[in-house]
């Protein structure tokens, strides 16, 4: 048995078999959590720098483990496209039912308020002929405290950096990629549009492993 000291100095004993039982229960809980995951590969760079091409991500169904019962603002989420339910996308939830979403000169506005954005250095991204160039990287922080990084390949003058105001319908969410100038997402109403809540599959939890070059991403937590 192991002696432990309480804050008031009184010793008490921990029985070894109780400690082993706790470890076994913890291990069993982890195994159950892993068994509930589905693994998805990331085929595109639409969520760089958060997710890279070649990442294999562990996705938890909403309501299990760290995933809440429904998509929350700021969550990365896997969903089926409304018009092609056999296709799975991974994007970040930006707007909830009833929200007003707009891009103005590269800045994100939610319900009329500009989302806080701070410079976070640069990110080297692939360009023509296999070369790389640094592009601006920023850290956005939502009103609920969720924070994540985005990149702007075309600065603040990309195709979807100035939009009309989107009003998210009841029972739907508005999603965007973290690679703001290279993402097919809810800003394109014809191709993607608003995502019905029933189309959401789960929340990416960790990178199981990655084939991305020169990246150490084993079991990396997904923000």
Q: Which residues are catalytic?
A: 46, 91
Q: Decide: 188 and 31 in contact? Cβ < 8 Å.
A: no
Cα atoms found within 13 Å of the Cα of residue 55, Cβ hemisphere only: 27
- CA pair distance 101, 72, nearest whole angstrom: 15
Tell me how far apart the alpha carbons of residues 9 and 18 are, in angstroms, rounded to a whole number.
22
Distance CA 59, CA 205 (A): 6
Can you tell me the distance from the alpha carbon of 19 to that of 27, in angstroms, rounded to the nearest whole number? 12
Q: For residues 172 and 197, is the Cβ–Cβ distance under 8 A?
A: yes
Q: How far apart are CA 19 and CA 1, in angstroms?
A: 10
Do 13 and 2 touch, CB atoms closer than 8 A?
yes
């Amino acid at each position: 048995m192991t002696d432990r000291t309480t804050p008031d100095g009184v010793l008490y004993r921990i029985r070894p078999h109780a400690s082993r039982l706790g470890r076994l229960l913890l291990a069993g809980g982890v195994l159950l959590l892993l068994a509930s995951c589905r693994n998805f590969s990331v085929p595109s760079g639409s969520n760089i720098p958060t997710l890279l091409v070649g990442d294999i991500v562990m996705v938890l169904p909403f309501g299990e483990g760290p995933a809440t019962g429904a998509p929350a603002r700021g969550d990365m989420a896997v969903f089926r496209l409304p018009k092609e339910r056999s296709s799975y996308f991974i994007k970040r939830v930006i707007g909830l039912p009833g929200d007003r979403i707009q891009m103005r000169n590269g800045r994100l506005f939610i319900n009329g308020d500009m989302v806080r954005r701070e410079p976070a250095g640069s990110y080297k991204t692939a360009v023509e002929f296999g070369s790389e160039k640094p592009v601006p990287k920023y850290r956005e922080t939502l009103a609920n405290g969720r924070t994540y990084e985005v990149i702007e390949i075309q600065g603040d003058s990309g195709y979807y950096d100035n939009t009309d105001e989107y009003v998210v319908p009841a029972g739907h969410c508005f999603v965007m990629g973290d690679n703001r100038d290279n993402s097919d997402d809810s800003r394109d109403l014809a191709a993607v549009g608003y995502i019905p809540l029933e189309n959401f599959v789960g929340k990416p939890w960790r990178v199981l492993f990655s084939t991305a070059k020169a990246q150490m991403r084993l079991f990396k937590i997904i923000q």
